Amino acid sequence: MQKLKLKNKIALLCIVICASSFIWLGEPTIIRIKEVFNSFTTDNIGNIYLTHNEELMKYNAAGQPLKKFSSMRYGKITFVDATNPLKILLYYKDFQQIVFLDNQLSQNSENISLENLGYEQTELVCTSFNNSFWIYNKQNNELVRFNENSQPISKTGNLKQVLQVNLKPNFMIEHNSYLYLNCPDIGVYVFDIYGTFTKIISIKNLSTFQANNNVLYFFKDHKLCSYNSLTFEETCQPQKDSLVKAQRVEKDRLFVQYNDSLKVFIH
């Protein structure tokens, strides 16, 4: 058990150090995308998605522009979930609208109006497995999972009553059939696919993160960090570049956001 714990610790340390300090065997390949954007995300096959107000831009793993999607109907894009690269979720919070795009950034289905579904104060939305999706509704402090036909199939009930706490979540994502709901002043609440609360990960003051098996990766206080929810170990590496706005790790790639560009460091 001690040997396994030591191996996990070394592996985590290597991931964070290699990713954040670029200390690799040999020089990494660097791709630079010169673009002004608000936020970005990636998918598991290396594609990159940049958002700028109403526009979504897709680049391939080589940093070459592929497609663009823009709609003036719903205002600025609030959130992009590319967990499923074949069905990309866009959420427009101001208009309570969800739009799904295919891998060509084409909309092949009708948009989903959460107000029409009876959820007028939806704060957060994310993708779920099997073409479904989650929402967090502020009006009744409830998580609801919908199937691909926009029918509710799982509900948590009022979490303020269930958990006896006043939740103020700012981010959520599903990974491996677990939903991670981030509350900066408390930590990350974890629910199973049926909406049953399973545990809380006591990391505070996060704005966003990535989930990979039992490890969370996040950028906080100008540090790239990992946290193992099984061993409760947190490893961080300070950043030397003060211009870094955000970072993301995807397999052998580190994505670094600046004010006017995105750099991709490839191992």
What is the residue extent of each domain of the chain?
2-185+197-203+229-266
pLDDT surpasses 60 at 16: no
Task: Sort 255 into a burial class: Cβ within 10 Å, 0-12 / 13-18 / 19+.
Answer: buried
Task: Sort 62 into a burial class: Cβ within 10 Å, 0-12 / 13-18 / 19+.
Answer: exposed
Ranking 18-32, 110-124, 172-186 by mean pLDDT, the lowest is: 18-32
What mean pLDDT, rounded, does the chain reach? 90
Are 71 and 55 in contact, with CB atoms under 8 Å apart? no
pLDDT surpasses 80 at 6: no
Confidence category of residue 263, pLDDT binned at 50, 70, 90: very high
Confidence category of residue 26, pLDDT binned at 50, 70, 90: low
Q: Between 192 and 23, whose confidence is greater?
A: 192
Return the ∠ at Cα 217 (arms to 216 and 222), rounded to 5°: 140
Helix (H) or strand (E) holding 33: strand 29-34
Average pLDDT (59-78) is 95
Average pLDDT (98-104) is 97
Show Cβ contacts of residue 14 under 8 Å, excluding neighbours closer than 6 positions.
none
Share of residues in the chain with pLDDT > 90 (%): 82
CATH architecture of 2-185+197-203+229-266: Beta Barrel (2.40)
Choose among 161, 152, 68: nearest CA to 107.
68
Q: Between 18 and 86, whose confidence is greater?
A: 86
Average pLDDT (241-245) is 92
Average pLDDT (79-92) is 97
* Residue 108: per-residue pLDDT: 85
Confidence category of residue 28, pLDDT binned at 50, 70, 90: confident
pLDDT surpasses 80 at 2: no
Residues 143, 166, 197, 202: what is their CA dihedral angle, to the nearest 10 degrees? 120
Task: Sort 102 into a burial class: Cβ within 10 Å, 0-12 / 13-18 / 19+.
Answer: middle
Share of residues in the chain with pLDDT > 70 (%): 90
Confidence category of residue 7, pLDDT binned at 50, 70, 90: very low
Average pLDDT (206-226) is 93
Mapped onto helix, strand or coil, the DSSP state of residue 3 is helix
* Residue 170: per-residue pLDDT: 97
Q: What is the pTM of this model?
A: 0.89
Average pLDDT (64-78) is 95
Residue 82: C-alpha distances to residues 22, 48, 101, 207, 209 (Å): 25, 9, 10, 18, 14
pLDDT one-digit tens code per residue, 174-213: 999 999 999 999 999 999 999 999 999 999 999 999 998 8
Choose among 148, 154, 156: nearest CA to 127.
148
pLDDT surpasses 90 at 229: no
Ranking 23-37, 77-91, 126-140 by mean pLDDT, the lowest is: 23-37
